[in-house]
Structures are given as C-alpha cells and as structure tokens.
Amino acid sequence: MEDLLSKVKQNLILNHDEDDALLSSFITAATSYAESYQKKPEGFYGENHMNPTTEQAVIMLSSHFYESRDGSTGGFFADNVEASKQVWNVVNTLLRLNRDVVI
C-alpha cells in the first residue's frame, strides 16, 4: 500500500503527509472497486500482484476521489460533468484489460 500511496501522491503532486490517511482510504476504496469490477475475491490485491494497468486505474480512481471529495465533478478549473465521466470510462477500460487475467 505504501508504494501505491507514493504513486498516488506523485500523480496528485502532493508534497505533504497531512492527507495520507485520507488517501489510504481512497486507495482502499479504489482497490475494492477494481476487485469487484474484475470479479476478483475481496482482498485479492492484498495477496496478489497488481498488473500495471490495474494499478494505473487504482491510481487514477484514488486521485479522482481525492480531487472530488468536496462533491465537485473533477473539472480542471471548474466543475465539468464530462471530465468526471471520462475518468470513470478510462478506469473501467483499464480494469477490463485485466478482468480475466489469472495470476
């Protein structure tokens, strides 16, 4: 989880540790979503290697959760429903790439 936390913080360009607990909860939620979407048992990625495309989806989704924690829709300078929708489309596409992969 520490490696994922570091990667999420790099993705968000965060240079402080104040939100590490919050980010960790978002990583847990994103990982759970990935396991569910890919029809993996709960806790699968706690015990098994995470493919790089799945890892990227978890990083993107965790970052989206963090950036949208106030209820905004994830636009760069203003709320944008399409930006949020596009994040979910990309995340789901990345997760589909490893849905049937058996490790």
pLDDT tens digits along 51-64: 999 999 999 999 99
Domains and CATH numbers, the chain: 2-97 (1.10.3230)
Tell me what percent of the residues of the chain surpass a pLDDT of 90: 60
DSSP string across 32-53: HHHHHHTTPPTTHHHHSPPPHH
* 83 residue type, one letter: A
Burial readout 43-69 (b: 16 or more C-beta within 10 A, e: otherwise): ebbeeeebbeebbbbbbbbbbbbbbbe
Over the chain, what is the mean pLDDT?
A: 86
What was the pLDDT predicted at 67? 87
Whether residue 103 is predicted with pLDDT greater than 60 in this model: the reply is no
Q: What is the pTM of this model?
A: 0.83
- Express each pLDDT in 22-51 by its tens digit: 999 999 999 999 999 999 999 999 999 999
pLDDT at residue 91, as a whole number: 85
Residue 72: per-residue pLDDT: 63
pLDDT for the residue numbered 22: 96
